[in-house]
Amino acid sequence: MIYAYIDKLVQKAKEAELIEAADVIYVRNQVIQLFKLEAFPEESAVEKLSDDLSIHDVIDWLVSYATDQAIIENLLDMKDIFAANLMNCFVARPSAVRETFYDKYKQAPTAATAYFYQLSKNSNYIQMNRIKNNISYKIDTAYGVMDITINLSKPEKDPEEIKRERAMKKDVHYPKCLLCKENEGYAGRIGHPARSNHRIIPIELAGETWNLQYSPYVYYNEHSIVFSDEHRDMKIDRQAFERLLHFTEKFPHYFIGSNADLPIVGGSILSHDHYQGGCYEFAMTRAEDSFQFPLNNFPDVTASVLKWPMSVIRLRGKSSIELVNAGELILKSWRCYSDKAAHIHAFTEAVPHNTITPIARVRNGSFELDLVLRNNRTTAEHPLGIFHPHADVHHIKKENIGLIEVMGLAVLPPRLKEELGEITKLLLGKENTVKDYHQQWADAIVQEYGIISTVSEAEQIVKKELGKKFVRVLEDAGVFKEKQSFQRFLDILN
């Protein structure tokens, strides 16, 4: 069946407009070379295969075949490298992709991003078959409807692969990180993901070259990454605000935001300046104003504090420059702000603790800039961070609260799939193996709801209570727990 599946891949690639009719013989010959085949039959039996197969389904079958035939080692990274090389036979060169992107941009920014997003999915760069394994749902909270995702899209590596990965990391430093532009077309290796089928789009932001790509494991619609052409550390400053708002001018249908630039409150990659964006409305976007406050030097800017579990200032205005200026004032003020009553210290000796997670968008003809105040100070009581998920919620979420979580989308560890199932059994009065670290929470759920008779109702209760825990996670990360302490900071802005 190998020939049938190769033919099916060529057929699907043509339907997806990755290739044209004139390319068929060429790309087929490229593919058979990867499988160490010397010829291709006149009849491939492709008609025996279902039309419902996607490109991703066909790729999965072909990679399994390559493993079974010992064409490649049965290691996750080697299989990913082979799959990327396979699809690279069908993906246009970077110059052609960029030309098409900007031709479509002349029609509309939405046309350009729709083309590039579809290309990234069709090329199997975005791992759609893995992403569909994620458990995702929405849940009502006191702050609006939030998103919950249990991340099941990244397969676990076996011990041998982990051992080899550690050895490789000592010797190879190219590309410098997972975001560098040198990843475009890079085959990959043990410990560094395959990128043969990867394409990026250079864009100009505030006088600098940046690059647009999509996340291989998208958590929301058109989950994009915008990264600096230069490998340099993350930095939140005036220029960052300028770039974010400039991006929304170029792509007004996208939001864009940045992780904070300090450990604990920052993202997983602080070594390369980058942002995340996409075409999605998060719960925080829909959050209402808790109250407005004046910015005396910026009468054309509307400033408010959001009704949100974290400490968020929203700036609105017609002028992006005015928002940048107002944002810079707030950032500089916050960087050096301390309030012992609120447990906020700007510095420990010379080590800074205060920073901001910024998010920009265009809405109803105005620019918006959300500034989420962050602090990464630790104490003996809270060694992972005072404004970080506290120990009593670590059974749900212990990792950093990055940009995506800040906006109201929980990215939770894969262990919860099974663990929440055991809590559901407890709620149904069935035999279970609830983990010790969940037991107090699980018992409290049973005490509140009693024994439930139907599986669907029990599952819904567990989801609801999980949503409450995620809200607690965000509340822990909020630097101001009450309006009075927030107001003390706002007062210094004028």
Q: What is the pLDDT of residues 264-278, one digit of tens each?
A: 999 889 999 999 999
Domain coordinates in residue numbering, the chain: 2-71
Residue 432, judged by CB atoms within 10 A of its CB (0-12, 13-18, 19+), counts as middle
Higher local confidence (pLDDT), 45 or 143: 143
Return the bridge partners of 370, or none.
314, 359
How far is Cα of residue 346 from the mean position of the Cα atoms in its chain? 29
* Of the candidates 17, 178, 184, the residue with the CA atom closest to the CA atom of residue 84: 184
Place 370 in a pLDDT band, splitting at 50, 70 and 90.
Answer: very high
Q: Where are the beta strands (DSSP E) in 92-200?
A: 135-141, 144-150
Q: What is the 3-state secondary structure (H, E, C) of 338-393?
A: CEHHHCECCEECCEECEEEEEEEEEECCEEEEEEEEEECCCCCCCCCCCCCCCHHH
Q: For the residues 93-97, what does the mean pLDDT come to?
A: 98
Q: Please state, for a pLDDT cut of 70, what percent of the chain lies above it.
A: 99
Q: Please state, for a pLDDT cut of 90, what percent of the chain lies above it.
A: 94
Q: What is the pLDDT of residue 393?
A: 96
Q: What is the pLDDT of residues 75-84, one digit of tens each?
A: 999 999 999 9
Q: For the residues 282-287, what does the mean pLDDT come to?
A: 98
Q: What is the pLDDT of residues 462-473, one digit of tens each?
A: 999 999 999 999
Secondary structure (DSSP) of 280-302:
---HHHHPPEEEEE--TT-TT-E
Q: What is the pLDDT of residue 171?
A: 75
Residue 168 has pLDDT above 70, yes or no: no
Q: Is 50 left (phi over 0), alpha (psi -120 to 50) or beta?
A: beta
Helical H segments across 16-142, by residue range: 24-34, 55-68, 76-88, 94-107, 109-122, 128-131
Residue 163 has pLDDT above 80, yes or no: no
Residue 169 has pLDDT above 80, yes or no: no
Which pTM was predicted?
Answer: 0.95
Mean pLDDT of the chain: 96
DSSP 23: G
Tokens of 99: 């030309």
Q: What is the pLDDT of residue 170?
A: 64
Q: For the residues 193-217, what does the mean pLDDT come to?
A: 97
Residue 203 has pLDDT above 70, yes or no: yes
Residue 172 has pLDDT above 90, yes or no: no
CA–CA dist 339, 346 (Å, integer): 9
CA–CA dist 276, 257 (Å, integer): 5
Q: For the residues 306-335, what does the mean pLDDT come to?
A: 98
CA–CA dist 273, 275 (Å, integer): 7
Q: For the residues 351-367, what does the mean pLDDT come to?
A: 97
Tokens of 208: 């600098």
Residue 390 has pLDDT above 70, yes or no: yes
Residue 233 has pLDDT above 90, yes or no: yes
Helix (H, G, I), strand (E, B) or coil at 329: helix
For 267, 268, 299, 389, 402, the CA distances from 399, given in Å and listed in that order, are 10, 10, 40, 8, 9
